[in-house]
Amino acid sequence: MFKNHEVKKKTCRLCKSKNLELVYKFNQSPIGDNYLKIKSKKKLYDLMLMLCKKCNFVQLSNVIDPKVVYGNYIYVTKTSHGLSEHFQKLTYNLIKREIVKKNGKVLEIGSNDGTLLNFLKKKSELVVAVDPAAHLFKDKHVENISALFSNKLAIKISKSHGKFDTIIANNVLANIDDLDDIFLGIQKLLNYSGHLVIETFSLYGVLKNNLIDNVYHEHLSYFTIPSLKKFAKKYGLNLKSVDFLNVKGGSYRFIFQNKNLKNTLKISKLIKRDKKITGKIKSNFKKLQKINLENTKKVTNFLDKQIKNKKKIAGFGASVGTTTLVYDMGLKSKIDCLYDNEKRRFNLYCPGTEIKVLNPKNIKKNKIDYLVIFAWRYAEVILKRNKKLFDKKTKFILPHPKFKILKN
């Protein structure tokens, strides 16, 4: 299936139409979270957003072999700002609404480091975790299945565990190519009266908040409420509720059930708001591309000037989104090093670059003149948390969505 580790999508992931149109083209980049211990040239892949002209669904043009994408996966949920607290609140919410029942059976697809399951395991009779990166999470109270979820795997789980009262898939659905296969598996494992809980970042958030750093090779799909609602209905799952969340710059939490359900007033209002932004996808992406090209010129012109003046420039935030910005803004040769609070990333290199990730404790010693905050959505938190580590002379740059210089 994969030629040179990638395959170009010729049909829409949801409706199978061949009528796909390019709406946003990024510079080629390597797998964004493939931070390595050695400097190495990494293969560059196309990164383009395509619009299905039949069903209005936005998706990546190419799919990279999951073995390549997740073979060196180091992202863990607990290090992502605010997610641990978010999952704790989610657990309380699901129990209060009886979506997770006392002594019920829970399956999580894409469990990562088990942050959510650490809260859920105390409330449920059986908790099963499915994730290919099994090394990230081990717990004697949770049965861990090291695999990518699929219909084939669901058949095996069904034979050994039966059906589940709650199936949770948080921040994983956008990463899956064959959505039909996943929903077939969910259909086999979900009790008739059970609930499917999905959280995913939204196309609404990408367009409204210019979240281009949320576009990378892991994120294959960019959902709207109508697109996921219609797709789930194919498998007998109806939308019970939807909530807009500020997580990851703008996400949705969907709750589906097998029952026949009508739109609530809240669902109707959110769909209406969603359509105001996503109803003009092509023109909105065109506007974003123009804004981002102009902003990139301002950032690169400023950094080039500082490099001529022998100023030291570093970045803060060593994430998959950083890789998107570094390559798309052409900053590969303009950043001396990166700093990050995540210890597991220390002394690794940003994919395909000579930019090394260092401990923030070295910032003062290295006499950094300008610090580019790649994790721009968390700039306030980063500056507050690391205040004692910064030299008073260091100035901070927000590279996106609007170039801005902040004084210490």
pLDDT of 215 reads 97
120 and 243 co-located in one domain: yes
Q: Are residues 214 and 323 in the same domain?
A: no
Q: Give residue 102's pLDDT.
A: 80
Q: What is the CATH number of the domain that holds 356?
A: 3.40.50.720
User: Is position 263 within any domain?
Assistant: yes
Separation of alpha carbons 185 and 170, rounded Å = 16
d(CA 139, CA 41): 37
Residue 335 lies in a domain: yes
pLDDT at residue 126, as a whole number: 79
- Residue 113 reports pLDDT greater than 80: no
Residue 265 and residue 402 in one domain = no
pLDDT digits (tens, 9 = 90+) for 238-249: 999 999 998 888
Other residues' Cβ atoms within 10 Å of the Cβ of residue 78: 14
Q: Let me know whether 219 and 83 are in one domain.
A: yes
Mean pLDDT of the chain: 91
Q: Please count the other Cβ atoms lying within 10 Å of the Cβ belonging to residue 25.
A: 14
Beta partners for 239?
Answer: 256
Same structural domain for residues 258 and 156? yes
Using the predicted structure, report yes or no on whether residue 364 has a pLDDT greater than 80.
yes
Predicted pLDDT at 76: 63
Q: Reduce the DSSP state of residue 153 to 3 states and report it.
A: helix
pLDDT (mean) for 347-371: 95
Identify whether residues 196 and 317 lie together within a single domain: no
Q: What is the pLDDT of residue 345?
A: 93
Instruction: Supply the range of the domain harboring residue 201.
Output: 77-279
Residues contacting 228, CB < 8 A, separation 6+: 173, 198, 200, 252, 254
Listed as own residue / partner, the contacts of 394-397 with beta carbons closer than 8 Å and 24 or more positions apart are 394/363, 394/368, 394/369, 394/370, 395/369, 395/370, 395/371, 396/370, 396/371, 396/372, 397/299, 397/302, 397/370, 397/371, 397/372, 397/373
167 and 308 together in one domain: no
Q: State the residue for tokens 């004084």.
A: 407
pTM of the model: 0.93
Digit-coded pLDDT (tens) for 59-81: 999 999 988 887 766 666 656 66
- Model pLDDT, residue 357: 97
What is residue 78's predicted lDDT score, i.e. its pLDDT? Answer: 58
Under 8 Å between Cβ of 106 and 85: no
Pair 104, 245 in one domain: yes
Number of domains in the chain: 2
The verdict on 238 and 311 lying in the same domain is no
Task: List pLDDT tens digits, range 259-284.
Answer: 888 889 999 999 999 999 898 999 99
Instruction: With respect to residue 11, please indicate whether it lies within any of the assigned structural domains.
Output: no
Instruction: Clarify whether residues 169 and 134 are in a common domain.
Output: yes
Both structure tokens of 11: 């049909």
Please give the pLDDT value at position 377.
93
The rounded distance, in Å, linking the Cα atoms of 321 and 9 is 23
Domain identity same for 114 and 223: yes
CATH number at residue 131: 3.40.50.150
Residue 120 has pLDDT above 90, yes or no: no
